[in-house]
Amino acid sequence: ANPSKEETLKTLQEKVLSGRADLGIAFDGDGDRVAFLDEKGQTVRGDFITVLIARQLLKQHPGEKIFYEIRSSRVVPEVIRESGGVPVLGRAGHSLIKTQMRREHIFFGGELSGHYFFETLGVVDNALYAMLKILEILSEEQKPFSEIIRPFKKYCHSGEINFSVANADEILKRIEEHFSDGQIKKVDGITAEYPDWWFNLRKSNTEPLVRAAGAIEYRGEFREIISPKENRIRRFLKIYGS
């Protein structure tokens, strides 16, 4: 089962709430991915787990490089720098991440899908070790999980949204032109950054899809502020994506 999908975690959420547990932990079938729930049964996003573990590791290993992927919240590089680390941006995909980490000697990295990579363990995705680091953090902090991650919720994040298209390469080219008033990055697909929001659009390697993710600074209700941005992208894809 895919631990990054909400429907996979429904039973675990019920168990966390009924048992008044401090957290919930779910592994995928081969044990290389892990998802976490807080004491309220809410999923803790993979980029928040990445920055939690990074902050913990940097206490003993200041100055090390920390990998984060393109869909991550802006809070990730911010906290890495505040904790004395060097944030390194890269493409999503566990094989791509491993290659970059080995090439650039990166100490730790994480992916939204629940893969966490440790240089000291041979740059393999080790869900068990990630779990142990989270348990260590909870033990030291002596606070509810939801309270520990609350400072990271500076930005509204849409999550990843899939769009079916017939011509992904052409779409990305037009997206770059259409959103050229923003700062464009091409680390993985097209990322357009504005002072108070950003989005990333990248094509799937296996399906006729483009995947969109984005975030915006907190100002009022989530849907009120993210919907106009999301609708702008949806309208564009409807015109050019068929």
* Cα dist from 210 to 7, 184, 191, 207, whole Å: 22, 17, 13, 9
Mark which of 95, 125, 151 sits at the end of a domain: 151
pLDDT, one tens digit per residue, over 107-144 is 999 999 899 999 999 998 999 999 999 999 999 999 99
What is the domain-level CATH number for residue 213?
A: 3.30.310.50
Question: Is residue 197 within 8 Å of residue 232, measured between CB atoms?
Answer: no
Of 78, 66, 71, 43, give the one whose Cα is nearest residue 215: 71
Q: Per the domain annotation, does 3 fall within a domain?
A: no
Is the pLDDT at 216 greater than 70? The verdict is no
Q: Per the domain annotation, does 25 fall within a domain?
A: no
The model carries a pTM of 0.85
Do 106 and 147 lie in one domain? The reply is: yes
Mark which of 99, 133, 151 sits at the end of a domain: 151
39 φ, ψ (degrees, to nearest 5): -70, -10
Is the pLDDT at 209 greater than 90? The verdict is no
pLDDT, one tens digit per residue, over 45-89 is 999 999 999 999 999 999 999 999 988 988 999 999 999 999 999
Please report where in the chains the tokens 């730790």 appear, as a residue. Answer: 108
Is the pLDDT at 220 greater than 80? The verdict is no
Helix ranges restricted to H, 143-208: 145-149, 168-178
Mark which of 133, 151, 169 sits at the end of a domain: 151
Q: Are strands 65-69 and 86-90 parallel, antiparallel or unpaired?
A: parallel
Do 76 and 147 lie in one domain? The reply is: yes
- pLDDT category, 241, cuts 50, 70, 90? low
For the chain, counts of helices (H) and of strands (E): 8, 13
In this structure, the number of other CB atoms found within 10 A of the CB of residue 20 comes to 7
Rounded to an integer, what distance in angstroms lies between the CA atom of residue 25 and that of residue 127? Answer: 10
- Average pLDDT of the chain is 87
User: What's the mean pLDDT in 7-31?
Assistant: 93
Do 229 and 189 lie in one domain? The reply is: yes
Taking CA 118 as the corner, what is the angle to CA 113 and CA 121, rounded to the nearest 5 degrees? 125
